[in-house]
Amino acid sequence: MHENDTWLSRRTYHHSEFADIEALVRRKEERGLKVSLCFPTLNEEATIAKEIVLIKGELQMRHKLVDEIVVIDSGSTDRTREVATEFGARVYLATDILPEIAPYRGKGENLWKALYVLEGDIIVYVDADIKNIHPRFVYGLLGPLLKEDGVRFVKAFYDRPISLDQKTVKPSGGGRVTELVTRPLFSSFYPELAQFIQPLSGEYAGFRECFDSIPFPIGYGVETSMLMDIYERSGMEAMAQVDLDKRVHRNQTTVALGRMSFGIIQTFIAKLRSSGRATMAGELHKTMIQFELEDGEYRPRESRIDIVERPPIIQIEAYRKKFPARGDCP
């Protein structure tokens, strides 16, 4: 029971509340809904097979909760696409989707293009690098959407142990970019969104009209941008979060997280400017400057990060023709 009448208490759930999968299937069928699951991938041959097999076996064959499983790949150089096909997913190379539009490369690009090939009324996005995959990563996200009136978008959160090597796992930690970058920014400009435990988690689900009506940055800022846009359009009551307990995945280096942080900050400032919440006298520099020690000397290493944003896909004529009937995300 929720003791306090706050968004955090009303709209925060635990996956165990939705463990009766057949009840979710009945609710889906009563409402005449179709569910699509998307894995965005780039060189994930080590984990994608297990994810597909487990979800397909439990939530598509044993229980009819998920109607399709689709992989959208950024151009893997390993066997990700072959493995995903072998284990029963429908697989697309991102550049083959809407080929008349000049392609970009990035996770946001995959998520955006997925909307064109997925058939579902509800879209579930799950990262493809999860080592401890479990059906809760899907049914936990679907639970509030199917059972709670007014919920249109659901975000995951979890404990994120840091994998130090193949044998050593630090039992707590993770979420470094969230706590050092995203939460301070949200607390300053969008304090309501600071209530999301893990705003950068890669697992979320929502009704199609919530996703096809918002822009998608192609790079690191896509999750931050998504929360800001859905909040501006629909408010906090249309959003929820679910505790999935624990997620074990491949952790990134501090240098890589620095580049991620830079992209998120760039995206955040661009959104502030476009929404009228902040103004700036000049343009931002687009180059991240980091340093590496080489032959006893520190040398700068620059990474150019341009903020490219796909428009709401509902603005694309081919999409409107394929999905002519739609409502609006409240």
CATH classification of the domain holding 35:
3.90.550.10
Quote the pLDDT of residue 173.
44
Indicate the residue type of 26: R
CA distance 36 to 123: 5
Task: Note whether residue 310 is domain-resident.
Answer: no
Quote the pLDDT of residue 161.
53
Quote the pLDDT of residue 171.
44
CA distance 273 to 187: 17
- When divided into structural domains, the chain yields a total of 1
Question: Among 48-52, 261-265, 270-274, 293-297, which stretch is predicted with the lowest mean pLDDT?
Answer: 293-297
The SS3 call for residue 321 is: helix
Binning pLDDT at 50, 70 and 90, where does residue 315 land? very high
pLDDT in tens, 55-77: 999 999 999 999 999 999 999 99
Residue 278 CB partners (closer than 8 Å, separation 6+): 189, 269, 272
Quote the pLDDT of residue 217.
95
pLDDT in tens, 193-229: 999 999 999 999 999 999 999 999 998 899 999 999 9
For residue 216, which of 96, 109, 92 has the smallest C-alpha distance?
109
pLDDT at 326 over 90: no
The SS3 call for residue 182 is: helix
Quote the pLDDT of residue 282.
78
CA distance 143 to 140: 5
Task: Note whether residue 296 is domain-resident.
Answer: no
pLDDT in tens, 6-32: 999 999 999 999 999 999 999 999 999
Task: Note whether residue 98 is domain-resident.
Answer: yes
Binning pLDDT at 50, 70 and 90, where does residue 251 land? low
Task: Note whether residue 320 is domain-resident.
Answer: no
Task: Note whether residue 166 is domain-resident.
Answer: yes
Segment 30-40 mean pLDDT: 98
Quote the pLDDT of residue 1.
33
Quote the pLDDT of residue 172.
41
Domain containing 19: what range? 7-255
- 47 or 5, which is more confident: 47
Quote the pLDDT of residue 321.
96
Task: Note whether residue 193 is domain-resident.
Answer: yes
Task: Note whether residue 171 is domain-resident.
Answer: yes
Question: Among 163-167, 205-209, 254-258, which stretch is predicted with the lowest mean pLDDT?
Answer: 163-167
